[in-house]
């Protein structure tokens, strides 16, 4: 091979390099063109090569391309294009895909243990088969379908495989047995835990009624049944319309003031649209209220809530939520719907705040309220099976903090040694 020393011309290549001090770097590289005097040569003009700096036809340096590939292999093409602009090495999403496809695939000459499972090309629509090296955790190959025939063809080319981890699909089981009958089939870790969880869930479901009885019995022994009475500034004897009107929420009072303002503006000659614009109210609402007057905030009721005021005040001292109050009062004779009671309660106890956790109230006696508070129902069999099979359920890996759901399950399960054993 002879080298030419005749420089015919030159041109400039623009190469993007790694950023410097958060600023983009552009290399202006002058490339020489050489001429060949040999008439038998197929090419007469040769461009100078810079293999140590960049590849032919590339617009980036080698080190910039390798730097970007480390990101593109981990994220999507659209995200890769976004981060490349932040790194001051801008490329398009199509370029991201081309760079990833240009990366050499590692060849697995000898396979010992593999994992095989479904792989979603488009979730719920199109599926293939992914094959992973169980030792390295890296994908080996992706098949276009989940058909047993395709899996058999691939496995037939790798007779050296001794162990295959798979899911519970019969198609994979038959393909492995047909292609490499000497290989041992192993259920993967997820399905081992899933099988155990299903078995425990079936066992718990059979004994669930007994567990609920035990849970309530244990809770009844640990809770206090006679909380002390408290004083309140509410009159337990008389609840007149004037008392209720004084306890109307602030939002209703603001609405009433706005309606009075509408009437005054109408008397001063303002139009409907002008009133709507100034009060920031829909013009249809303004027209309706001006025609029919201010709607009454009073609601008539035939239910005598004064009869149960002592029980209501007692439950307020225990921070029970209104829904539990209604169930308890309904057991001792209150005849109304839950919505009617909660509406009456919100008008007469506008500042009441309950504890926010779930509560349970036993049927009350009028003279001696008997209340069991903060009762947490027994979790469903599925949740119990997860708790038993997974010791790290609901525990943050970084901080070790237990979630509220885990704490709730602990409170109900810890005293019940029957489940834990």
| Strand pairing class (113-122; 163-166) | parallel
**Which is more confidently placed, 268 or 378?**
268
pLDDT per position as a tens digit, 75-109: 999 999 999 999 999 999 999 999 998 888 766 66
Task: Indicate if the pLDDT at residue 280 is higher than 70.
Answer: yes
pLDDT of residue 60: 93
Question: Are the beta carbons of 84 and 91 closer than 8 angstroms?
Answer: yes
Alpha-carbon gap, residue 32 to 6, rounded angstroms: 10
Alpha-carbon gap, residue 417 to 421, rounded angstroms: 6
Long-range contacts: 274-281, Cβ < 8 Å, 24+? none
**Which is more confidently placed, 211 or 126?**
126
Which residues, 6+ apart, have CB-to-CB distance to 267 below 8 Å?
Answer: none
pLDDT-based confidence at 7, cuts 50/70/90? confident
Q: Which residue(s) pair with 402 in the sheet?
A: 395
**DSSP characters over 322-344:** HHHHHHHHHHTT--S-HHHHHHH
Question: Are the beta carbons of 227 and 317 closer than 8 angstroms?
Answer: yes
pLDDT per position as a tens digit, 379-413: 777 777 777 777 777 788 778 888 877 777 777 66
Place of tokens 């005293």: 415
| Cα dihedral: 170, 172, 174, 180 (round 10) | -160
Q: What share of the chain is helix, strand, coil (3-state, %, to 5)?
A: 45, 15, 40
pLDDT-based confidence at 222, cuts 50/70/90? low
Which residues, 6+ apart, have CB-to-CB distance to 109 below 8 Å?
Answer: none
Alpha-carbon gap, residue 95 to 54, rounded angstroms: 16
Alpha-carbon gap, residue 395 to 407, rounded angstroms: 10
| Strand pairing class (6-20; 23-35) | antiparallel
E strand or H helix that includes residue 411:
helix 404-413
pLDDT of residue 318: 79
pLDDT per position as a tens digit, 52-82: 899 988 999 999 999 999 989 889 999 999 9
Q: Which residue(s) pair with 29 in the sheet?
A: 13
Question: Are the beta carbons of 81 and 73 closer than 8 angstroms?
Answer: no
Highest average pLDDT, of 97-106, 218-227, 350-359, comes from 97-106
Q: Is 180 helix (H, G, I), strand (E, B) or coil?
A: coil
Which residues, 6+ apart, have CB-to-CB distance to 114 below 8 Å?
Answer: 131, 132, 133, 134, 140, 158, 161, 163, 164, 165
For 186, list phi and psi in degrees, rounded to 5: -125, 135
Q: What is the mean pLDDT of residues 40-59?
A: 86
Residue 28's alpha-carbon distances to 31, 48, 222, 347, 382, in angstroms, are 10, 15, 81, 78, 66
Closest listed residue to residue 418, CA positions, set 195, 207, 216, 219: 207
DSSP H helices, 102-240, are: 148-156, 170-179, 189-206, 208-222
| Cβ neighbours of 215 (radius 10 Å) | 20
Enter the tokens of residue 292: 């029919």
Closest listed residue to residue 191, CA positions, set 221, 166, 211, 170: 166
Highest average pLDDT, of 157-166, 353-362, 391-400, comes from 157-166
Which residues, 6+ apart, have CB-to-CB distance to 205 below 8 Å?
Answer: 381
DSSP state for residue 60 in the 8-state scheme: B
DSSP H helices, 280-403, are: 283-292, 309-317, 322-331, 338-348, 381-389
Cα–chain center distance at 191:
23
Up-side HSE of residue 156: CA atoms within 13 Å toward CB? 9
């Amino acid at each position: 091979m002879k080298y030419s020393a005749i420089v015919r011309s030159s041109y400039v290549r623009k190469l993007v390099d790694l950023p410097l001090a958060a600023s983009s770097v552009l290399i202006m590289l002058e490339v020489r063109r050489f001429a060949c005097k040999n008439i038998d040569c197929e090419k007469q003009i040769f461009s100078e090569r810079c293999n140590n700096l960049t590849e032919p036809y590339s617009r980036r340096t080698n080190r910039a391309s390798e730097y970007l590939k480390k990101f593109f292999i981990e994220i999507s093409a659209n995200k890769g294009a976004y981060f490349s602009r932040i790194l001051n090495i801008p490329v398009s999403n199509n370029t991201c895909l081309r760079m990833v496809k240009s990366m050499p695939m590692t060849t697995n000459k000898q396979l010992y243990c593999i994992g095989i499972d479904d792989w979603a090309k488009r979730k719920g629509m199109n599926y293939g088969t992914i094959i992973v090296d169980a030792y390295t955790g890296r994908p080996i190959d992706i098949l276009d379908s989940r058909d047993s025939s395709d899996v058999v063809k691939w496995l037939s080319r790798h007779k050296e495989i001794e162990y295959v981890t798979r899911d519970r699909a019969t198609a994979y089981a038959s393909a492995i047995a047909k292609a490499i009958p000497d290989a041992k089939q192993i259920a993967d870790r997820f399905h081992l835990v899933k099988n155990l969880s299903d078995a425990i869930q079936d066992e718990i479901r059979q004994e669930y009624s007994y567990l609920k009885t035990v849970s309530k019995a244990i809770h009844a022994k640990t809770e206090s049944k006679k909380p002390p009475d408290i004083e309140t500034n509410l009159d337990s004897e008389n609840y007149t319309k004037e008392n209720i009107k004084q306890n109307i929420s602030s939002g209703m009072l603001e609405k009433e003031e706005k309606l009075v303002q509408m009437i005054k503006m109408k008397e001063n000659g303002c139009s409907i649209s002008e009133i709507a614009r100034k009060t920031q109210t829909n013009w249809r609402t303004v027209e309706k209220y001006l025609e029919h007057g201010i709607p009454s905030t009073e609601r008539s009721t035939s239910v005598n809530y004064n009869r149960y005021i002592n029980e209501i005040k007692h439950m307020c001292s225990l921070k029970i939520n209104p829904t539990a109050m209604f169930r308890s009062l309904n057991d001792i004779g209150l005849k109304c719907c839950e919505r009617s009671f909660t509406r009456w309660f919100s008008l007469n106890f506008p500042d009441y705040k309950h504890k926010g956790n779930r509560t349970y109230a036993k049927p009350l006696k009028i003279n001696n309220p008997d209340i069991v508070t903060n009762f947490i129902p027994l979790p469903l069999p599925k949740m119990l099976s997860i708790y038993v099979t997974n010791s790290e359920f609901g525990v943050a890996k970084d901080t070790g903090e237990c979630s509220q759901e885990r704490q709730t399950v602990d409170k109900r399960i810890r005293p019940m040694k029957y489940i834990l054993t």
